[in-house]
Amino acid sequence: MNFIKAGSDAAGKPVEINYVDYGQGKPVVLIHGWPLDLQSWEFQLAELPLHGVRVIAYDRRGFGKSSKPWDGYNYDTLADDLKAVLDELNLQDVTLVGFSMGGGEVARYMSRHQGARVSKVVFISSVTPYLLKTDGNPDGVDKSTFDGMIEGIGKDRPGFLADFGKAFYGVGVLSHPVSQPMLDWSQSIALQATPRATTECAKAFSDTDFRQDLQGIKVPTLFIHGDADKTVPLENSAQRAVKLVAGAQLVVYGGEPHGLNVTAKDRLNRDLLTFLSGQPVRDNFDADGPEAMPRRAENGSATATY
């Protein structure tokens, strides 16, 4: 295992961030969603490095194999953890890819650290711009929804996460849902996090306002979201967020749920590679067609097929 020191906790103990680093080429950093860890990027970690891309993914503090301090689950601290990863590995010309809660880390990093080292950003099923319904954010989600999540975690965390996983992957929505072993695997990942981290991160992504963070982003930006996402509904998130980032593009995956990095893995991998290459990402795409993935050139770099 590889670890990066990201400061210390309140007791002065070092916080270590577990990460993986695969492939060679321009770096892409994957920031996972809640309540999982870097393992949730399995299909991206297996494919993207085959196309001349260096891919780094890490476990958020409190999750996976990273340190599990009592505190530090606010977005300022989480953005500082991301900075520690970029600084320690001395990454340049980075593309940040944030999934769900991880989109908040991308947005806060871009404002808090002035987008240092970053050339592109991608938000997938992201919680941005602001989920909580308030007087100043009437299009948000009612607070009772998030209160119910916190109550469910406290009452029966394994039971809550099992039900959450079904909605996450669109069980009952997709005509070909993920397998029960996939649900079981995701459950096992989620349970590696501490109850404290699980609860505090849920509070953080539900009530953090990222609207000003997004407005300061000046690099090419792509939003990807499923229109069958019941976990972070499209209309409460990406449809609003894309309007706050100048020149940003929104690609909607028809019929896909929150966990589209699994349910639409081939299309997502293809779209990420296309965006990385500087080419436009198309809205309509047949993931099973002949253009499902840029072919690999002899030197390992990605070559578009159109």
The pLDDT value given to residue 108 = 98
Residue 100 known to be catalytic = yes
Which of the residues 59, 81, 213, 229 is marked catalytic? Answer: 229
Q: pLDDT digit string (tens) for 2-24?
A: 999 999 998 899 999 999 999 99
Range(s) of the domain holding residue 293: 2-303
pLDDT digits (tens, 9 = 90+) for 144-156: 999 999 999 999 9
Contact indicator for 239, 215 with CB cutoff of 8 Å:
no
Write down the pTM of the prediction: 0.92
C-alpha distances in angstroms, 226 versus 63, 160, 178, 205? 25, 23, 16, 19
Given the residues 32, 51, 225, 258, select the one marked as catalytic: 258
- Quote the percentage of the chain above a pLDDT of 70: 92
Report the CATH number at residue 253: 3.40.50.1820
| pLDDT tens string 82-105 | 999 999 999 999 999 999 999 999
Which entry of 40, 100, 126, 206 is annotated as an active-site residue? 100
Task: Please count the structural domains in the chain.
Answer: 1
Do strands 26-31 and 94-99 pair parallel, antiparallel, or not at all (unpaired)?
parallel
pLDDT confidence tier of residue 175, bands split at 50, 70 and 90: confident
CA angle, 232 then 275 then 222, to 5° = 30
Quick check: 299 pLDDT over 60? no
66 catalytically annotated: no
> Across residues 262-276, what is the average pLDDT?
98
Map tokens 């449809």 to a residue: 239
Rounded distance between C-alpha atoms, residue 156 and residue 2, angstroms? 32
Query: Does residue 247 surpass a pLDDT of 90?
Result: yes
Residue 21 annotated in active site: no
Q: Which amino acid is residue 46, in one-letter code?
A: A
| Residue among 120, 49, 53, 116 at smallest CA distance from 86 | 116
**With b meaning 16 or more CB within 10 Å and e meaning fewer, what string describes 6-43?**
beeeeeeeebbbbbbbebebbbbbbbbbbbbbbbbbee
Helix axes 195-207, 143-168, angle to 10 degrees: 120
